[in-house]
Amino acid sequence: MKAAHSVSDLVDAGLLTPEAGAAVADVAGRYAVALTPYLLEALEGTSPGDPLYAQYVPSAEEAYTAPEERADPIGDVARSPVKGIVHRYPDRVLLKPLHACAVYCRFCFRREMVGPGGEALSPDELDAALAYVREHPEVWEVVITGGDPLLLSPRRLTHIVQALSAIPHVGVVRLHTRIPVADPGRVTAELVEALTAPDVATWIAVHVNHADELTTQARGALAQLVEAGIPLLGQTVLLKGVNDRPEALEALFRGLVRNRIKPYYLHHPDLAAGTSHFRPTLAEGRALVKGLRGRVSGLCQPTYVLDIPGGHGKAPAAEGWVRPEGDDGSYAVEDFTGATHRYRG
């Protein structure tokens, strides 16, 4: 089975009827489409109400852009001093060596930036990005993201991780990926070996939104990483129609912990264009998270966070950080510097 990269591929796979394909043609022309053979097999016989289907198969609802939505919802561009680097917090940076993914999630906050053949750093640009890290001794942690960094070859990953390991003030390299649950066969012994180096601790944040993603194959890929000594974190987006029920979150977080993954962040969906149908209200999200207290152990409790539009970083979506403001559904959100920003989403 071949990967799907177009509406016609999804029609051929039986995931869209020809009529439904015609209805999402414009959406697929704007936002990238890709499903791995592994996911195509997993989605056989599913429909739009399925929690995996909703995450990967385009819908006509994506054609609507709400007034508050943005092309760069978390302000990456405003915080990018050098191509491939985002420096939002004093002690850590994002390093984005590529803008391609094995799959394109329909709610992605970088959906305006990523896609097939998405721009990757040239060797000179990567050198400049690494030089930026060397020249900033306050940087203790480098988060490799994109795009999905585990799409890189083991050779290229080895080069990046070893180069960061050689920088004395870098203590942690963290990689964010969807690969273990979207294309688990890509997690090989060679790839795992490429992820570690002397003098730095490698951590991996795995993006998982539903317990159904923790298949036998996915669990095997995750076990390879854990057994190589790499700690795993779970990153989840709270999505309407996918996981916005206490039972769904309970099953997911218990499943993560059972597979030695610590639930780290539960993200309120960002204000990415064409994603309003996925976004619960903050009040709904807070109620769900409150309902998890006492229902699952502390190991299963991530931090519910809101990424403040404009590049101001994450804030816990909790009292003291996020306060209702006015009668229009807006909130006052405090960032890590103490500054306050208005949020409506």
For the annotated catalytic residues, the residue numbers are 88-89, 92, 101, 105, 108, 110, 270, 307, 314
* Angle between helix 123-134 and helix 154-165 axes, rounded to 10 deg: 20
Q: How far is CA 132 from CA 61, 143, 156, 173, 235, in A?
A: 40, 14, 19, 15, 27
How far apart are alpha carbons 233 and 215 in whole angstroms? 17
What is the three-state SS of 221-262?
HHHHHHHCCCCEEEEEECCCCCCCCHHHHHHHHHHHHHCCEE
How far apart are alpha carbons 28 and 5 in whole angstroms? 9
Greatest Cα pair distance in the chain: 57
How far apart are alpha carbons 321 and 30 in whole angstroms? 35
From 226, 186, 179, 180, select the one nearest 202 (Cα to Cα). Answer: 226
